[in-house]
A and B are shown apart, each in its own frame.
Chain A
Amino acid sequence: MDTKKTSLYKLHQDCNAKFVEFAGYHMPIQYSEGIVEEHKFTRNHSGVFDVSHMGQLFIYGGDELIKDLEKIFPLDLKNLKLNHSKYSFLMNKDAGIQDDLIITKISEGFLIILNAACKNDDYKILKGWLNEKYKMVLDENRSLIAIQGPKSSQILNEVISKVKDLNFMSGNWFLFDNQKVYITRSGYTGEDGFEISIPNNFVDKLTRELIDKGSKLVGLGARDTLRLEAGLCLYGHDLDKDKTPVEANLKWAISKERISKGDFIGSDIIIKQLNNGVTKIRVGIKPEGRIIAREKTKIFNQSDVHIGEITSGTFGPSVNGPVAMGYVENEFSKKNTKVFLEVRGKKYAASICSLPFYKKSYVKGAN
C-alpha cells in the first residue's frame, strides 16, 4: 500500500520538514529548528501539529446508540453532556487495550478520535459490535490539527473568534471561511490547547494563518517528548492488547458507576483487577544523571532481579533530563523505589516517580 500524504504535505515541505513513515503516512518528524526548539516553543508559546493521520470516526445515533456504546466503553455516556469529551479505550474481552481514544458527544451522535495505526481495525471492531445498526463514517475528508501551548488560545481566537470561551475537554462547531470546523479544548502535550477538525481543502489555509499569528509547526518528534513529559501514554508502546487500563494506571478514566454495574466488554477482568490488584503496573521512571533508557530497556530491583521493562523513554527538554515510563511488578511501584536500568550492558540507577514529569494546569476556560 502506498504511503499516504496529509493535506498539509505541501506546507510541511515548505517548512523544511524531515519526513518519516508513521502508520502508513508521510509525517513530519521535525522541521528546521529541531525537536528541542519545537518542544520548548510549544511549552512557552504555541505549536501547531498535523495529526490528520489520526482517525475521525463519526457514529450517528440517539439513545439506543448510547446504550450500545456503554456495552463497549467504560464510560457514563448517558450523562455525557453535549459537546463534552472523555478519554477512554477500546478493550477486548480480556480488557486488553485495542486503542485509546477521545470520545465527544455531538448532537447527531459521537465523534471518536482514534490512533492512526489502529483506526481501520477499530472501525471494523466497532461496526461488528454495533451489529451495523448505525451509520459510521471514518472521515477521510477532514483533517485534524492541534494547537498547543500558552499562547494558543489567543492565537486561535484571533482567527476563529470565541474559541477561548471553550472549557477544557469540551468542544463546539465554529466557522472558518464559511466551513464548519469542530474544535475541542484538548490535546496531548500537557499544555492548554485545541484540536480542530476541518475539511481537507481548508486546513492549509487555517494552518498558515495560525503560523502568521505566531504559532509554529511542530513535528511528531517533539509531540513525543511533550506527551512523555506530561506522563501521557503512546499506543503501541505504553499501551497494547496485553495491558489493561488498570495495569496502565488509567483507572481514573473508568466510570465508577459503570464498574458497579459491570456490563461492558472486559468488565469482569477490570473488576477482578480493581478488587485483587494487578501484578504489573505502569509507573514513571527517572534515571539518575543523563542516561537515556529507551523502550525495551530492562528494569531490575536492588537484588538484581528483573522486575519490568521501559515502554517509552527519551530526553525531556523542559525537564532538562531523561524521562521514562514503564511497567514494573506491583511491589516495586511505590514512589522513590530505587531500581536499575540496563543500558548497553551496564546498570544505571533510577527511581520510580509520580507522573507527570512536567506539570502545568490546564485552563478551565472562562467559566
Chain B
Amino acid sequence: MSEVKYSKEHEWIKLDGDVATIGITKHATEMLGDIVFAELPEKGSSVEKDGTAGVVESTKAASDVYTPVSGEVVDTNQAIVDDPSKINQDPENSAWFFKLKIKDVSEMESLMNKEDYDKFAKENA
C-alpha cells in the first residue's frame, strides 16, 4: 500500500492497487465543526479529478467534497451517512467517504505528502 496523499481541498487519498480510498482530513473537520450530514457519490458513477463527489454539512453550513483523482465509485461508506459524527471522531481512518477504481495513476503526482499538507493546512488555517 502506498503512502497517503493530500489535496488542497483537504481530502486524503490512499492507493491500494488501482483502488483509492478517499476521505476528508482532520484539519478539514476542525474547520467545519460538528458534521451533521454527509452525502456520498453513487456507487457505479464516474467522478472527475477536482469535481464534486459529495457534501458535508455542519450545523453552520454546507461544503462540497471534491475528488482528488478521477475514477469509478466502487464503494461508499454508509456508516458516515447514518452517523455523520463519526467523521469528526475518526476522519482519516474508519470515516472514509468513498473508494474509486482510478483511471490515471499519474493524477496522484500533483498531490501533497503529509509534511507538505501539514504545512499547507497550517498556512491556510
Contact = CB atoms under 8 A, between A and B. Distances in A.
B62 interface: yes
Interface in A20-56: 29-30, 34-37, 39
Contacts of B93: none
B34 A292 contact: no
A301 interface: no
Interface residues of B, number: 14
Contacts of A37: 34
A315 B59 contact: yes
Contact of B59 (A36, A290, A291, A344): A36
Contact of A221 (B33, B55, B84, B85): B33
Interface in A305-334: 314-315, 317, 322
Contact of A36 (B36, B57, B61, B62): B36
B122 interface: no
A344 B52 CA distance: 12
Given A35-B58, A314-B59, A290 B37 contact: yes
Nearest to A30: B33
B119 interface: no
Contacts of A29: 60
Interface in B42-68: 55, 57-62
B60 A35 contact: yes
A216 interface: no
Interface residues of A, number: 19
B34 A35 contact: yes
B79 to A, nearest CB: 14
B33 A292 contact: no
A315 B84 CA distance: 12
A29 B58 CA distance: 13
B36 A292 contact: yes
Contact of B62 (A39, A221, A292): A292
A-B CB proximity, top 6 nearest: A315-B36, A36-B34, A35-B59, A34-B34, A292-B57, A292-B37
Given A36-B85, A292-B57, A315-B36, 6 more contacts: A36-B36, A37-B34, A221-B60, A294-B61, A294-B62, A317-B36
Interface of A: 29-30, 34-37, 39, 221, 224-225, 290-292, 294, 314-315, 317, 322, 344
Interface of B: 33-34, 36-37, 55, 57-62, 81, 84-85
